[in-house]
Amino acid sequence: MNNSHLRYNKLEKVTNNCIPMYDWIEVSLKYEKDCKGSVKGIIPVGRYTNFFTGTSWTNGYILNPKTGRKLGANYNDNGWLKISVCPPKFIKGNNVEKASISETSDLFYELQELMKVDLLSGMVHKLDITHTAKTDFKPITYYPHLCNEASYKRYEIDTSLYYTSNSKNIKKVIYDKVNEVDKRKTWGKKQNIPQEYKDSDLTRFEVKLGSNKTICQASKKTEFLVSDLFNEENVMNLNSFWNNEWNSIPKETDIKYDMEKTETPKDLKRYLQNIAYQSIGRLEIEKHINKTSIEHNWNKMQKYRAKKMLLKEFVDSAEMNEQIAELDKKFNDMEVKWS
């Protein structure tokens, strides 16, 4: 894959605003199955039949010989094609580095020419937008300061922190990129961390959009196609969505208390309460609220009131811990990488 022919509209560089990296893209489109040369370049590896529809699919891949990386390419007898790709891994050989908007644009244009299909008109069904920051500490250091968010379930597995929702087709993940590269099996040769990132702590925040409808909502469109990935307005809307999803996670965990201001018994009571709250920690208090609500079958209003009462000091007057403030600043101060 090369950059000999850029075919996206040149985008004005905007500084101090993070551009989302497209870390995973899944596309489907209808192609002319009788057209000679259609789906050219796909290397078939197997065939299966969908149990529910009876449609037969051919599983395959396309190889980038420069990086040794593959992307998934499946097609069926009815003329449907599906493409699944991690652009930075396919283009650069790893997904620690960003693949710019222009590089990703080139990739899809070259795939379109290779397969002789109108790939840019394909429907985007899944999209992961992400960024990785070099941080002062290992990612797990920040997790105690990333609290529960309304409508999401928060849980940790190994060195990853997840936020999943039953009402939204969105998953948010904060994880240790170094650990993921070291442990994860990958399609193609082993992934290596680029020299500039070696011996660094890398914290990644990833927003996974699981349907075209969700992607449309994030980009403020009624339909989202491959060509829309490279449109300036859409890119900036997706960037804002990524940023908002990060900022919507509560991070205020440090309650400030000052002994000098305890002039009355009421002041002293609040002072001691704040010491207790800070000692127990916001996440632990939330854990007790959830546990008790389940044990005693609280309704939504009872749980809401308990949270409002017990988390009031955190919501009203808590501040970010210095550690999470460092990560928060880095995620909010990224620069655009257009090309």
Residue 338 pLDDT class (50, 70, 90 cuts): low
Confidence at residue 211, expressed as pLDDT on a 0 to 100 scale = 97
What are 188-246's pLDDT values in tens digits?
A: 556 677 777 778 899 999 999 999 999 999 999 999 999 999 998 998 899 899 999 99
Joined tokens for residue 91: 């283009």
Q: Identify the three-state secondary structure at position 295.
A: helix
Among 51-65, 74-88, 140-154, 173-187, whose mean pLDDT is lowest?
173-187
Confidence at residue 33, expressed as pLDDT on a 0 to 100 scale = 66
Task: Compute how many other C-beta atoms are within 10 angstroms of the C-beta atom of residue 75.
Answer: 23
Judged on CB neighbours under 10 Å (0-12, 13-18, 19+), 90 is buried
Residue 6 pLDDT class (50, 70, 90 cuts): very low
How much is the average pLDDT of 37-59? 87
Confidence at residue 18, expressed as pLDDT on a 0 to 100 scale = 41
Backbone phi, then psi, for 4, in 5-degree steps? -75, -20
234-271 burial, b for 16+ CB within 10 Å, e for fewer?
A: bbbbbbbbbbebbeebbbbbbbebeeeeeeeeeeeeeb
Confidence at residue 8, expressed as pLDDT on a 0 to 100 scale = 38
CA 161 to chain centre: 12
H helix runs in 248-336, sequence order = 265-280, 282-295, 300-310, 312-317, 322-332
Task: Tell me, yes or no, if the pTM score tops 0.75.
Answer: yes
Confidence at residue 183, expressed as pLDDT on a 0 to 100 scale = 62
What are 137-182's pLDDT values in tens digits?
A: 999 999 999 999 999 999 999 999 999 998 999 999 999 988 877 6
Confidence at residue 65, expressed as pLDDT on a 0 to 100 scale = 92
Q: What percent of the chain has pLDDT over 70?
A: 87
Residue 187 pLDDT class (50, 70, 90 cuts): low
**Rounded distance between C-alpha atoms, residue 131 and residue 335, angstroms:** 11
Strands (E) in 110-237, as ranges, are: 123-135, 153-157, 160-164, 170-176, 201-209
Confidence at residue 184, expressed as pLDDT on a 0 to 100 scale = 58
Query: Above 70 in pLDDT, residue 118?
Result: yes
Closest CA to 283 of 97, 118, 179, 155: 155
For 35-40, which contacts have Cβ atoms below 8 Å and span 24 or more sequence positions?
35/116, 37/116, 38/115, 38/116, 38/117, 39/73, 39/75, 39/81, 39/115, 39/116, 39/117, 40/114, 40/115, 40/116
Confidence at residue 196, expressed as pLDDT on a 0 to 100 scale = 76
User: Are 11 and 232 within 8 A, CB to CB?
Assistant: yes
> Mean pLDDT across the chain, nearest whole number?
87
Query: Above 80 in pLDDT, residue 11?
Result: no
Higher pLDDT, 8 or 327: 327
**Secondary structure of 25-53 in the HEC alphabet?**
EEEEEECCCCCCCCCCCCEEEEEEECCCC
SS3 content of the chain, % helix, strand, coil (to 5): 40, 25, 35
